[in-house]
Amino acid sequence: MNSLQTDNHCQIYDPNGQFPLEIESSLRLPLDSSMRIIFTGHYNGFGVEVRGIEEMSMLYHMGCFGKGTKSRSKPKPIKNDSSPSIIRKRQYLKRIYWYKKFDSINKYPETDSYFKHVEDLRKKIKNDSKNLKKNVIDLVSSEDEVCEDNQYDTLGPPCAFSNKQDIVVIVPNSDSEDDDYFANMKPKCCINKIKLEEKLVLTKQEAFFLVYGLGCLQVFHENKLLTVKECWKLFLEGDNYFISKYIVYHYYRSKGYIVKPGIKFGGDFLIYKEGPGINHSDYIVVIKHNHVDYNSWLTILGHVRMSATTVKEILIIEVIEPKTENLNLPKELNAYTVKELILSRNLPVTINDDRD
């Protein structure tokens, strides 16, 4: 489907618009299980966090899944300049307290054996180079080898550290910075153990699509690995529209489109043909819920004005529930049907000029 727009600018019903899940649910890509990579995410209450650098890069470049916590879209590594930050001693002690309290919580099981094998290979190359007393080029890791953190656990002079380390300069506590304070300051350096690292955050729809639709993501919640059924129940909590949103998300993902959140443009989703890093989105998806009135002139004119300003088209989606009761969800999601309606505006002046 190259375009959702028909000749009369309105597509009311698509007979082939049944939720395409039955065939895809039996597939797990790649088909060879030995080549399949299982990513690991952690539920944080509103989405799923992916914390591994390799996993973040692969998920975003292989489908534009998720968004960086400190970036506009694509996750980027945090670059620290050569100058360390300066903090008070009480701030440093507080960070050490946080590190001791929360470090054990953040220790999760191994993400995937693929990345573990790569790390073992990298260590083996470096160990062999030390035994041979020769320099071996590290083709696995692009980062330089750094020193261990325990060398910098104690305070020391500022010149004892490398600029590549995350170093903070600690100065004594003082409520007033008078002349005596600067004369007897004696700053010291230490490793900053509390680091604000970039993470990839997946929406509930993206996470469940990776868990259920592709089978390449495992989700942890409170140190417990969740099953597909448990993920479904967890994502339903506090979100009354999760079912309809996920059906629409899976529907367009299965057609090869890149689907991203559309709250910035007053919709539920944005549809890209190739991705946000290549071109702009073509459609603003608005899901029509049963108890919400979308037929008012105020709502329609608002969507039309937004589409005209951003050079996009409004795509109103209605998810038709099946008549069968007591469905076994999410297994029987293919019983739902999707109806598409493109909302466009025809200017009478332009039409009359074309006829003349």
Active-site residue, from 272, 283, 303, 336: 272
Look at residue 14 and tell me whether its pLDDT is greater than 60.
no
Residues 219-228 have a mean pLDDT of 94
DSSP letter, residue 79? P
Q: In the structure, what pLDDT confidence band is assigned to residue 186 with cuts at 50, 70 and 90?
A: confident
Residue-wise over 249-280: b if at least 16 C-beta within 10 A, else e? bbbbbeeebbbbbbeebbbbbbbbeebbeeee
Q: In the structure, what pLDDT confidence band is assigned to residue 32 with cuts at 50, 70 and 90?
A: low
Q: Residue 6: what pLDDT? A: 41
Using alpha carbons only, what angle is made at residue 327 by residues 322 and 333, rounded to the nearest 5 degrees? 65
The answer, yes or no, to whether the previous bond of 75 is cis (omega within 30 of 0) is no
Q: C-alpha 338: how far from its chain's center? A: 26
| Percent of the residues in the chain that have a pLDDT greater than 90, as a whole number | 29
Among 114-128, 289-303, 330-344, the range with the most confident prediction by mean pLDDT is 330-344
* Lowest-confidence pick of 1-5, 91-95, 103-107, 341-345: 1-5
Among 121-125, 164-168, 188-192, 314-318, the range with the most confident prediction by mean pLDDT is 314-318
* pLDDT, tens digit, 9 for 90 and up, residues 240-281: 899 999 999 999 999 999 999 999 998 999 999 988 888 899
Q: Which residue has the higher pLDDT, 128 or 199?
A: 199
Q: In the structure, what pLDDT confidence band is assigned to residue 303 with cuts at 50, 70 and 90?
A: confident
Look at residue 354 and tell me whether its pLDDT is greater than 70.
no
Active-site residue, from 199, 245, 260, 312: 312
Look at residue 125 and tell me whether its pLDDT is greater than 70.
no
Is residue 323 annotated as a catalytic residue, yes or no? no
Q: Where are the domains of the chain?
A: 35-78+197-239, 80-107+144-196, 241-343
Q: Residue 145: what pLDDT? A: 36
Look at residue 153 and tell me whether its pLDDT is greater than 50.
no
CATH number of 241-343: 3.40.50.10490, 3.90.550.10, 3.40.50.300, 3.40.1350.10? 3.40.1350.10
Q: In the structure, what pLDDT confidence band is assigned to residue 128 with cuts at 50, 70 and 90?
A: low
Q: Which CATH architecture has domain 35-78+197-239?
A: 3-Layer(aba) Sandwich (3.40)
Backbone angles phi, psi at 67, to 5 degrees: -150, 140
Is residue 117 annotated as a catalytic residue, yes or no? no
Is residue 272 annotated as a catalytic residue, yes or no? yes
* pLDDT, tens digit, 9 for 90 and up, residues 323-348: 888 888 888 898 999 999 988 776 66
Q: Residue 196: what pLDDT? A: 65
**pTM for this predicted structure:** 0.66
Q: Residue 139: what pLDDT? A: 37
Sheet-wide strand order for 188-191: 85-88, 167-171, 188-191
Look at residue 148 and tell me whether its pLDDT is greater than 60.
no
Active-site residue, from 100, 116, 264, 280: 280
